[in-house]
Structure 1
Amino acid sequence: MSEIIVMIRSEIGMSRVSILSNQSFQEFVNKVGQIINKPPEALILSLEGVNISSKISPNQQIKMIPNFQNGIFIQVNVDQKKGYKKPQQIQTPEQPKVYMANGQLANDQQIQQVNHKIHENKDHALSQFCQHGPQAKCINCLSSTSTKVEQKEKTEVNKCKHGEGGRCLNCAPYEQEKQNTKTVNKILCQHGPNGKCPHCIDEGQIEAKHVSFDQFLHDMKFKCRGQHPDNGRCNNCLPPTMISYKLKKDCKNHAPYPKAMCNNCLPPSILLKRQVYRHVDYVEFLNIPEMSNLVQYWTSKGKTEQRMGFLYGYYAADPNYQNGVRAIVEAIYEPPQKGTFGHVDLLQDPAQSHADEIATSLGMEKIGWIFTNVNHDCFLSSEELRQAAQYQQIYSIKHPEGCLVSKFLTVVLRTKKDSPDEVVPEVYMVSDQGQQLENDGIFQNSGRRKVLQVRDAKNELDVLPSFVYNGKSVKEFEPDFFIVNVAHGYNPNSNYSILKLYDFPVENRSAVAKQQDLKTFLHKHQKKPSHNRFADFHLLLYLSKLIDIHSVVNIAQFIGSECEVPNELLDIVKMYATGV
């Protein structure tokens, strides 16, 4: 019984699925459905361009399916007709059974007396899951605190009419009592320090300044619980959409613009405030040697020539945040560039497509960009924020809820203010609002790092949105309003990483990799398995210049699936390394 890693491509991007070889094909399809939030019967799975959903028996074991090997790529499409779920009526949960002290099943009158006793005396009653006598307690007992909180959920929270993050007389007492309930229920835990039970299942999760996007959507739906079916939608629980801040010129209510115009045509006003959610909660760097190499090269130039690169990795669920998303970084590609003290200009790069192809074959994708910085006057300058917003717009994907979102990251390698010799990473994203404003062409270059400026109207027919801060209309403001902080950390454990090596010379630097570097590298790692020996992103980029890209892509696929590279490919690389 072995574990098989499968890479899937879907409408939400690249994902990794692990399945045991003795599990059935239907269990694999169910896992895929959970990841992309679609019903399994609506999924269409294709392997090497062939639809396998209808050809493979649901009960067939994974190990018995031809070509279903470790590291394969499967394209997942969704049948829109089957993927649509009809709204269902909300069913009232069955009332838990309550037993009295003599072991008899309680009638309705006795249940009312027990509930009254629970409410008044804060005692407990047995539920249908209890395995003890009437005088003992366990995690399944009906407690007064949980009963009160459940009642608050149904009667008070559903009355809220405000958005996420707001407070009113209906939900303020509920939130406070819910927090007190966690403290009370934790006393009932009967396991060791590393165990979990219904009383402490949320313990250990990080309370961050920004909530994860999926949790934000969950909280919005929670406000409407009981108001409509679970699959229904209303204005209070619709996912946030990209609002256009351009003048609407195709309004159907009147003659075409500029002959006529109404309030619906005008771009909405913008109240400057920070975004409460984020699309990525944590960034994990697995390429510590590579980042150190970038910092050393930058330092060797006296930190006067800034450097930038693109990040490659993948996304995974993060258990430390509710419905959290983690980005794992494994490689940096530094394109041709010309750096100055405060800016980096990218040059024409014909090898960028090769970097993308190699990353895809390894099971990775482009997930962000990274650059060096020595300024401490702001987190992101107006120019840096606008560039980050442009990248996020380019690499937006469709969320399962139907809205476009971007998980593209911005990483800054900055010297410490009190210790210039120490460099630390900072991770940011641009808010959805800032991303859309940049996409609609609302901003202009201000020439000042700490000031984001709204452009001037081109003529009297060019209508721009108004920006409001502290009750006043403004044309300039700090970029910080559109910055979202992202937590990050290192992981020195390379057992789970795709790339194992980071010591081949980096491309597009002053020192160009040569044939001797390839020979030295292969000799240094000759005792390693072939899929580990070639697991260096910069080595694969160098090989793509020597031999055809298709052969390098094949090598990358063997690396991603942790399979030995065929001798035919090894002989080709050896020929270029030795010149024989």
Structure 2
Amino acid sequence: MLIRIRSKDGTFRFDLAPTSGVEQLAEKILETTEGADPESLTISNTPRGGETAISTLRGRTVQDLGLRHGDLLFVSYKSSVGSAPLASVEPISPSSTSAPAPVSAPDAKRPWETVKEDPVDTYWRSSNGKIPRQRDPRLCKHGANGMCEYCSPLEPFDQSYHAEHSIKHLSYHAYLRKLSPSQSSNSNALPPLTPLSYRVKVPCPKGSHPPWPAGICSTCQPSAITLQPQPFRMVDHLEFASDAIIDRFLHAWRATGAQRFGWLIGHYEPYDEVPMGIKAVVEAIHEPPQEGELDGLTLGLPWEDEARIVKLASEASKPLTIVGQIFTDLTPLDEDKSKSLYKRHPKSFYLSSLEAIFAARVQLEHRCPSRSSPTGEFSSRVVTAVLCGTEDGGIDLSVYQVSEQACAMVEADMIEASVEPGIVRVKEEDRTADSARYIPDVFFRYKNEYGLDVQKSAKPAFPVEYLLVNVTHGFPKVPAPLFRSSLFPIENRPGLEDQGLQLIFNELSQRGVTEGDGEVAASSQTGLANWLSDWHLIAYLGTVGLLSEDDMKLLIKTASSPSLESPSALNEIVKTDGWRNLVAIARESSAPRRPTVPPPAVADNTSDFEIPPEVYDDVENPIADPSVRVCPHCTFENVHGGSDCEVCGLPLG
């Protein structure tokens, strides 16, 4: 097979057998160089980025790397004049065996081989992903068991199929298959993806000048950037497990008019509407501390409770994580308060520049583990959802991601928000030592009024649409959420929904849990189980200190289990020490208390008179008045003889 390599010395062609070792390839590369340091020799399948040290590939063959006839490799190295070949690149003698050498220690530590991917990635990597087609009676001339070009399965990246079904973006795994079809079954192949970076390489690979900002050259500076639509998306669809999740989130805005923000807690599943698609399923919305206003909101970042929430979510029966963020941008119309202003549309903006930059920062903080990247991470699956007004005054959801180019530009501190929400500003270059910032040339392409494709400089600003990736959304036809209830007050809504232990105690008392030894009656177990299956209730119980870490793991695993309605679902929970402590405190707090009166005042002339202790006991604990009935739920003393409490309205006995 013919392998081409390109380095600063030129382009060369080598004839190698598929079973030839990487050591033979390294020998041929070194023959084309002058004084190259073998230890610094790297190869990549892209002109810039994704370099892999060839010394870490010992023991592998050319075929193992996924190379095919005519492939082009990009080689870089550091010069070391007069140095002899090191032992890391060993020639293979004719008498040596054809079996590959043992994998070296550095080879076992390569990030893309040790990374743990999401189960949905494992699922698609084990599938061929091809699009099946039925036999066409007009074109197919073969029998029922035959196959031809008109009915054979299509590749998941087939362009005509996507155009026919109006699928704008390739899915992540379809994009991987398009880049390297042979790597789907070859775990030893070089990763095909290279994370974008627009930062200056420090130190410079050549090492011929002082590091940036004192010096810069064509080797260490980033290339010019041409903004273009991203051909793939990491998430194809956002699905809410039930519509109650959105209704509860919107309740705060409906009650106060202030905007709200929340983190989407969920998991990823295959999405069959798109070839090799992935959907994010939202099971809950967790609201961090925030200050909502009529036209915006203020968040406290970093989110201090994130580590606890992420750990708690990962213990569910189906491990959960942060899959996105959601916020409202709703303004009632002046003439009709029941309708919302239509402010996000094609003639305005979809996602403001400030929101797009914030989304990029969130995506950079939640990178996606990937075996297809040399760093072990690539892009992100965190989505950004916006609840905004529609043209007819209703409320609709729009979902986006920002592109890899957007994340790379934010990471390099190249862009900033502008006063105009639909415009992104490109920052000025700064060579000061404290905040060195290099800004390469940035361009974007568009069609002018004559229908011609025109390239224009993005400095000083460009439309935010060049950074966005659309994501579809919806609800399941048959809802089956992990959490059955959403009635418990939501966190961080002071004054509107206040969480508290007394709410839990009252609920346990009403369900009869505080009676007897705390065991749950079979008749009330289903209702109690559904009440416990509430994300906000479980998250709150983790802050009160009554349940241990093991008890919390058992609670969320049981509360999110598909078999929650089983008669024995709560058997393990009611036996834990944390549950018994919770029930004991609930029993004490709900026990009726006898009315007390203060001791009678004692005259000054009898202040030295000694009163027996038993007299004080009788005064402090008088005999209860039978006409006074104490509510077992709120402990209010009812004196009017009614059967229901005058305060909470619940039965008195």
Decide: shared fold, TM above 0.5: yes
Distance in 1, matches of 2:320 and 2:465, equals: 31
Runs of at least 5 residues in structure 2 that lack an aligned partner in the other structure: 1-113, 128-137, 331-342, 445-453, 512-522, 564-568, 590-653
Distance in 1, matches of 2:388 and 2:584, equals: 42
Residue 514 of structure 1: aligned partner: 500
Of residues 141, 146, 149, the one that matches 1:141 is: 146
Residue 514 of structure 2: aligned partner: none
Q: Kindly indicate whether the alpha-carbon contact (under 8 Å) linking 1:359 and 1:365 is maintained by their aligned counterparts in 2.
A: yes
Residues 301 and 549 from structure 1, CA distance in 2 versus in 1: closer, same or farther, beyond 3 angstroms?
A: farther
Residue 449 of structure 2: aligned partner: none
Q: Kindly indicate whether the alpha-carbon contact (under 8 Å) linking 1:357 and 1:553 is maintained by their aligned counterparts in 2.
A: no
Of residues 222, 228, 241, the one that matches 1:286 is: 241
Of residues 353, 358, 369, the one that matches 1:382 is: 353
Residue 415 of structure 1: aligned partner: 389
Distance in 1, matches of 2:159 and 2:241, equals: 38
Residue 567 of structure 1: aligned partner: 574
Partner AA of 2:269 in structure 1: A
Residue 108 of structure 1: aligned partner: none
Distance in 2, matches of 1:352 and 1:384, equals: 20
The count of residues paired between Structure 1 and Structure 2 equals 405
The offset of 1:370, in angstroms, is 0.6
Q: Is the counterpart of residue 356 in structure 1 residue 318 in structure 2?
A: no
The offset of 1:36, in angstroms, is 6.5
Bigger shift: residues 276-285 or 346-355:
346-355
Distance in 2, matches of 1:37 and 1:332, equals: 32
Q: TM-score, structure 2 length as denominator?
A: 0.56
Distance in 2, matches of 1:464 and 1:530, equals: 60
Of residues 249, 252, 266, the one that matches 2:221 is: 266
Q: Deviations over 1:311-362 (max 9, x none)?
A: 1010011122111111110001111101223332123765443322321111
Distance in 2, matches of 1:264 and 1:380, equals: 35
Q: Kindly indicate whether the alpha-carbon contact (under 8 Å) linking 2:414 and 2:437 is maintained by their aligned counterparts in 1.
A: no
Distance in 2, matches of 1:217 and 1:144, equals: 24
Q: Is the counterpart of residue 467 in structure 1 residue 442 in structure 2?
A: yes
Partner AA of 1:552 in structure 2: M
- The 5 A counterparts of 1:90-109 are none
Partner AA of 1:484 in structure 2: V
Partner AA of 1:471 in structure 2: Q
Distance in 1, matches of 2:125 and 2:147, equals: 36
Residue 538 of structure 1: aligned partner: 536
How large is the Cα RMSD of the aligned pairs? 3.6
The offset of 1:382, in angstroms, is 0.7
Distance in 1, matches of 2:378 and 2:235, equals: 14
Q: Give the secondary structure class of the aligned counterpart of 1:300.
A: helix
Partner AA of 2:488 in structure 1: F
Q: Deviations over 1:117-147 (max 9, x none)?
A: xxxx9894xxxxxxxxxxxx53323557569
Distance in 1, matches of 2:471 and 2:484, equals: 26
Residues 266 and 290 from structure 1, CA distance in 2 versus in 1: closer, same or farther, beyond 3 angstroms?
A: same
Distance in 1, matches of 2:380 and 2:553, equals: 27
Q: Give the secondary structure class of the aligned counterpart of 1:366.
A: strand
The offset of 1:474, in angstroms, is 2.1
In terms of Rg, which structure is larger?
2
Distance in 1, matches of 2:419 and 2:503, equals: 44
Q: TM-score, structure 1 length as denominator?
A: 0.62
Distance in 2, matches of 1:354 and 1:175, equals: 44
The offset of 1:447, in angstroms, is 2.9
Residue 297 of structure 1: aligned partner: 252
The offset of 1:576, in angstroms, is 4.1
Q: Is the counterpart of residue 345 in structure 1 residue 301 in structure 2?
A: no
Q: Is the counterpart of residue 483 in structure 1 residue 439 in structure 2?
A: no
Partner AA of 1:504 in structure 2: F
Distance in 2, matches of 1:33 and 1:404, equals: 15
Residues 231 and 528 from structure 1, CA distance in 2 versus in 1: closer, same or farther, beyond 3 angstroms?
A: closer
Q: Is the counterpart of residue 432 in structure 1 residue 408 in structure 2?
A: no
Residues 175 and 533 from structure 1, CA distance in 2 versus in 1: closer, same or farther, beyond 3 angstroms?
A: closer
Distance in 1, matches of 2:424 and 2:587, equals: 55
Distance in 2, matches of 1:472 and 1:314, equals: 41
Distance in 2, matches of 1:521 and 1:423, equals: 34
Residue 595 of structure 2: aligned partner: none
Residues 140 and 396 from structure 1, CA distance in 2 versus in 1: closer, same or farther, beyond 3 angstroms?
A: same
Residues 571 and 411 from structure 1, CA distance in 2 versus in 1: closer, same or farther, beyond 3 angstroms?
A: same
Distance in 2, matches of 1:360 and 1:138, equals: 51
Q: Is the counterpart of residue 323 in structure 1 residue 321 in structure 2?
A: no
Distance in 1, matches of 2:585 and 2:117, equals: 36
Residue 395 of structure 1: aligned partner: 366
Q: Give the secondary structure class of the aligned counterpart of 1:263.
A: coil
User: Percent of counterpart pairs with the same letter?
Assistant: 23
Distance in 1, matches of 2:410 and 2:122, equals: 35
Q: Give the secondary structure class of the aligned counterpart of 2:180.
A: helix
Partner AA of 1:395 in structure 2: H
Per chain length, whose mean CA-contact separation is higher, i.e. which structure has more relative contact order (CA < 8 Å, sep 6+)?
1
Q: Kindly indicate whether the alpha-carbon contact (under 8 Å) linking 1:318 and 1:325 is maintained by their aligned counterparts in 2.
A: yes
Residue 365 of structure 1: aligned partner: 321
Residues 355 and 472 from structure 1, CA distance in 2 versus in 1: closer, same or farther, beyond 3 angstroms?
A: same
